[in-house]
Structure 1
Amino acid sequence: MAEAESIQRLYGVPHSLYTGVARCYLRTQGIPYEELPTAHPDFQERILPVTRRSIIPVLETPEGDVIQDSLDIIDHFEARGVPYSAYPDSALQRVLAIIIQYYGSQSMLKHAMHYRWTYRTQQEEFLRDAFAAGAGEELADRIMSRMNSYLPRLGVTEHTVAEIEASYFQLLDTLNVHFRKHPYLFGGRPSVGDYGLIGPLFAHLGRDPVPCDIMKVRAPRVYRWVERMTAPGLDTPEFQGYGSEFLPGDEIPETLVPLLEQIADEIFPELTDKFVFLDDLIETHRPEDGQPVSDKPHQRYVGLVDTQFRGMPMQSGVEPYLVYILRRADQVLASVSQTEQQAVRAFLETYRLADALPGNRGYSVDRRNQIEVWER
């Protein structure tokens, strides 16, 4: 048993999308941790003064370091070495894993929040119990109402609901086929793509009663993957002899192609429109290197764009954080040979994903002192 002082502290709640990502990663890697709710006094006294905003998950290391954001928590441990690295060695798999991570952690907020709040009446007791357990009875209603109010800026409206649900069914069908043949997206261990998808597919869609029932009935192999992702280590008894490595030779399984096609259909033109918005913002305001992306730490949206989801018009909030995620794909390409770069770019062009990479725009987004800032 690990000594108490070597245990990581994870601040979050069971129904949190991003806490679920960090929790799955810690369990897969066998990293001892203790999970504490935001109502814990240490969160108020020690964590908030550092993060300067009420955000989860936050990891507090035994050495006293504070790391917020599931992406940064993963990268913190990756840099130190883990049993099952979440980053494939090959360039194409790694770039695609980052794009899928973006899709799961950002684009699928529509699906997650729609099924949680549009069906609130059918799930009221379940949701109320979860929010009260995490924040206390007095704050539960206030937090639930605030979360519900986010739907329009995520593009969840009466015009897009039918397409969001059609997208969820399509995703379940595609992944159900894939997970019959492979335990994870790219082989025998979860990638950052898996961790991106598990956020919405566990905390909301694989846990809240309405979407969870749909998943169990329509796509039992996807539900089994959710169980696998949330279990300790690699929970793969159905795949005896498969191994724990990523597929060799930068192989992309045929069963993954429909997922890539769906991602291309759904992240554009929204992502392109957001890039244009950010380009114009930079050109107009010309922020200095290190300048916060917003006036207040808790403000992550910098505006709204008129765009589309699966052909339906909508508005969507613009978070510079999207650049923080996707620029890592550019960094992968910058680290490999010209020949490898050309092969990856050709694949991305074929599957209409090339424009998911920010490229050289004259700016990027970094995180310094716990806050997102412009990088010039």
Structure 2
Amino acid sequence: MFSQATPYVLYGAPHSLYTGKARCYLRNQGIAYVERPTSHPDFVARIAPALGRAIIPVLETPDGEIIQDTIDIIDYFERRGDVRPVYPSTPLQHVVAVIIEYFGCQAMRKHAMHYRWSYLPEQRDFLWHAFVTGSGEAVAEKVMGRMHSYLPALGVTEQTAPLIERSYETLLDTLEAHFAVMPYLLGGRPSIADYGLIAPLFAHLGRDPVPAAIMKQRAPRVFRWVERMNAPGLDTVEYPEQASAFVADDTIPPSLEPFLRHVAEDIFPELDDKLDFFDRWIAEQRPADGRPVADKPHRRQLGTVNTQYRGVPIEVGAEPYLLYVLQRAADTMAIVNDEAAARVGTQLERLGLARAVPSGRDYRVARENNIEVWRFD
């Protein structure tokens, strides 16, 4: 546990998907912090100018370091070694955890944004309160309009909406069965997989009235997991015999496998097509080592990709940040011995997830001064 005299400061918002991920980590790990909105004078005067963009969440450390992005925030504390590690030390669990984190923080933006904005008339008062509380009426109206406009670029259309809702229901059903057995995805304590999944399952799907009602009625154990992830420490009262450790012997719990197969069905072929897009873009553009991935700090997409979501054609934005998430799985595969790599590869193939590990590329995405940049081997 941390006991610093000056607490960490988390700049964010209660209804923010990525703030929820960082907040859960700080609470679970017992790290003292205070949370401030983007309207706070320090964010306006110091934080946003230092980043070159207004983006959340941002962590300011007691010594004044500014860290933006949930991966970087979590890794800052993981490197200190004063917390329960959230990255499994064994390769299969580590790789699967990173893939689940990608699914939650990237692929599930479809689910989160569809339920938030496609059902705006049914939950307008709730959302208006959330956005006004953090930023005031004038800014809230502008931000809400901008967020709503993102739906097509995420693949949320009239044609895909029923598929997204069916996917959400299947996700709830498969997780409900798993949480009947253990409190977290990989055992008795949260991993980076739990923190990736809580991002959409709290701020949007577990909090906004329409999807939260579906969750409570269809999957009460999933809702309880959302509560558990927002509690301090390990809130596992329903599992008195569960040790606070990951499942032994680098195995994936059988109860989690239906969920993982659902993940595979949801992320492909979109992920394949985005990775192909990046390969072509790098070959054609040949960016310099260390060059920012986009021409402006606030811009995250390099272009659009024609792909499919569950058989329906969509055109979505291609954000190199997904490489920053998934290349950690490729890095794990690169350092294990041949026997372990073969074992992990076999299990990933069985689950349909092998293509989610972006191995064999001579480029990667790094972050310097809180901005994504290209790096080459």
Scaled by the length of structure 1, the TM-score of the pair is 0.98
1:340 aligns with 2:334: no
Q: Distance in 2 between matches of 1:306 and 1:82?
A: 44
Q: Distance in 1 between matches of 2:361 and 2:233?
A: 40
- When structure 1 is superposed on structure 2, of 1-10 and 303-312 the one drifting more is 1-10
Name the SS of the counterpart of 1:183 in structure 2: coil
Q: Distance in 1 between matches of 2:266 and 2:331?
A: 24
Q: How does 1:363-374 map to 2 (within 5 A)?
A: 363-374=363-374
Q: Distance in 2 between matches of 1:3 and 1:321?
A: 33
Q: How does 1:59-78 map to 2 (within 5 A)?
A: 59-78=59-78
Shift, 1:331, TM fit: 1.1
Q: Distance in 1 between matches of 2:63 and 2:27?
A: 20
Q: 1:351 to 1:3 in 2, by over 3 A?
A: closer
Name the SS of the counterpart of 2:35 in structure 1: strand
Name the SS of the counterpart of 2:316 in structure 1: strand
Could you tell me which amino acid in structure 2 is paired with residue 187 of structure 1?
G
Name the SS of the counterpart of 2:358 in structure 1: coil
Q: Distance in 2 between matches of 1:257 and 1:114?
A: 26
Q: How does 1:190-269 map to 2 (within 5 A)?
A: 190-269=190-269
Q: How does 1:25-64 map to 2 (within 5 A)?
A: 25-64=25-64
Could you tell me which amino acid in structure 2 is paired with residue 168 of structure 1?
Y
Shift, 1:336, TM fit: 1.8
**Cα RMSD (Å) of the superposition?**
1.2
- Partner of 2:118 in structure 1? 118
Q: Distance in 2 between matches of 1:122 and 1:90?
A: 45
Per-residue CA distance 1:61-106 (angstroms, 9 max, x = gap): 0010000011111111000013321111111001000000000000
- Partner of 2:375 in structure 1? 375
- When structure 1 is superposed on structure 2, of 175-184 and 343-352 the one drifting more is 343-352
1:79 aligns with 2:73: no
Could you tell me which amino acid in structure 1 is paired with residue 374 of structure 2?
W
Q: Distance in 1 between matches of 2:2 and 2:366?
A: 34
Q: Distance in 1 between matches of 2:347 and 2:71?
A: 25
Could you tell me which amino acid in structure 2 is paired with residue 321 of structure 1?
Y
Name the SS of the counterpart of 2:180 in structure 1: helix
Q: Distance in 2 between matches of 1:306 and 1:122?
A: 32
Q: Distance in 2 between matches of 1:139 and 1:329?
A: 38
- Partner of 1:90 in structure 2? 90
Could you tell me which amino acid in structure 2 is paired with residue 227 of structure 1?
E
Q: Distance in 2 between matches of 1:83 and 1:35?
A: 20
Shift, 1:5, TM fit: 4.1
Name the SS of the counterpart of 1:181 in structure 2: coil
Q: Distance in 2 between matches of 1:21 and 1:342?
A: 32
Could you tell me which amino acid in structure 2 is paired with residue 118 of structure 1?
S
Q: Distance in 1 between matches of 2:5 and 2:375?
A: 36
Per-residue CA distance 1:284-313 (angstroms, 9 max, x = gap): 110011001111000001111111111111
Shift, 1:335, TM fit: 2.3
CA contact (8 A) 2:111 2:165 kept: yes
Per-residue CA distance 1:38-74 (angstroms, 9 max, x = gap): 0001001111122111110000000100000111111
CA contact (8 A) 2:11 2:35 kept: yes
Sequence identity percentage? 57
- Partner of 2:155 in structure 1? 155
Could you tell me which amino acid in structure 1 is paired with residue 323 of structure 2?
V
Scaled by the length of structure 2, the TM-score of the pair is 0.98
1:7 aligns with 2:7: yes
Could you tell me which amino acid in structure 2 is paired with residue 162 of structure 1?
P
CA contact (8 A) 2:3 2:32 kept: no
- Partner of 1:291 in structure 2? 291
Any stretches of 5+ residues in structure 2 without a counterpart?
A: none
Name the SS of the counterpart of 1:233 in structure 2: coil
CA contact (8 A) 1:260 1:351 kept: yes
CA contact (8 A) 1:50 1:370 kept: no
Q: Distance in 2 between matches of 1:97 and 1:72?
A: 16
- Partner of 2:165 in structure 1? 165
Shift, 1:259, TM fit: 1.0
Any stretches of 5+ residues in structure 1 without a counterpart?
A: none
Shift, 1:4, TM fit: 7.3
Shift, 1:2, TM fit: 8.0
Structure 1 ranges of 4+ moved more than 2 A: 1-6
